[in-house]
Copies of this chain bind each other. A is one copy, B any other.
Amino acid sequence: MHGGDIYSHNKKVIDFSSNINPLGVMPELKEYLIKCFDEVSVYPDIKYRRLKKNIADYLNVEPSQVVAGNGAVEIINNFILFFDRVVVFTPCFSEYVLRAKALNKEVRKFKYDSNFEIAIEELKNNIRPKDLIILGNPNNPNGKRIDREVLINLAVITQEKGAFLMLDEAFYEFCPYDYDSIELLKNFDDICIIRAATKFFALPGIRLGYAKVSANWAERYKEIELPWSINSFADAATEIIFKNKDYIKKSKEYINEERQYMLNILSKIKNIVAYKTDANFILIKLLKYDEDFIYNRLLEKGILIRKCSNIDGLDKSYIRIAIKSREYNDLILKELIDILGE
Q: Interface residues, chain A, CB within 8 Å of chain B? A: 1-2, 4-7, 15, 18, 20, 24-25, 30, 33-34, 37-47, 49, 70-71, 73-74, 77, 81, 95, 99, 102-104, 202-207, 223-224, 226-229, 231-235
**A to B CB contacts below 8 Å, 22 in the list:** A2-B46, A2-B227, A5-B45, A7-B45, A20-B42, A24-B41, A25-B38, A30-B37, A33-B37, A34-B34, A41-B202, A43-B205, A44-B204, A44-B205, A70-B70, A71-B228, A74-B229, A102-B224, A205-B232, A207-B229, A207-B231, A231-B234
Contacts of A24 in B (CB 8 A): 41
Contacts of A41 in B (CB 8 A): 20, 24-25, 202-205
Shortest CB distance A107–B (Å): 15
Q: Are A42 and B6 in contact (CB under 8 A)?
A: yes
Q: Are A70 and B6 in contact (CB under 8 A)?
A: no
A205's partner among B30, B40, B71 (CB-CB below 8 A) is B40
Shortest CB distance A142–B (Å): 21
Contacts of A7 in B (CB 8 A): 45-47, 49
Q: Are B70 and A229 in contact (CB under 8 A)?
A: yes
Q: Are A43 and B204 in contact (CB under 8 A)?
A: yes
Chain B residue with the shortest CB-CB distance to A228: B71
With A81-B102, A81-B103, A232-B205 given, is the CB distance from A42 to B227 under 8 Å? no
Q: Complex Cα distance A40/B203, Å? A: 6
Chain B residue with the shortest CB-CB distance to A7: B45
Q: Are A42 and B205 in contact (CB under 8 A)?
A: yes
Shortest CB distance A246–B (Å): 19
Q: Complex Cα distance A163/B254, Å? A: 56
A4's partner among B43, B203, B233, B234 (CB-CB below 8 A) is B43
Chain B residue with the shortest CB-CB distance to A44: B205
A206's partner among B71, B223, B227, B231 (CB-CB below 8 A) is B231
Chain B residue with the shortest CB-CB distance to A30: B37
Q: Complex Cα distance A49/B9, Å? A: 13
Q: Complex Cα distance A227/B4, Å? A: 12
Chain B residue with the shortest CB-CB distance to A34: B34
Contacts of A229 in B (CB 8 A): 70-71, 74, 207
Shortest CB distance A44–B (Å): 6
Shortest CB distance A78–B (Å): 9
Contacts of A102 in B (CB 8 A): 81, 223-224
Contacts of A227 in B (CB 8 A): 2, 71, 73, 95
Q: Complex Cα distance A85/B20, Å? A: 41
Shortest CB distance A189–B (Å): 22
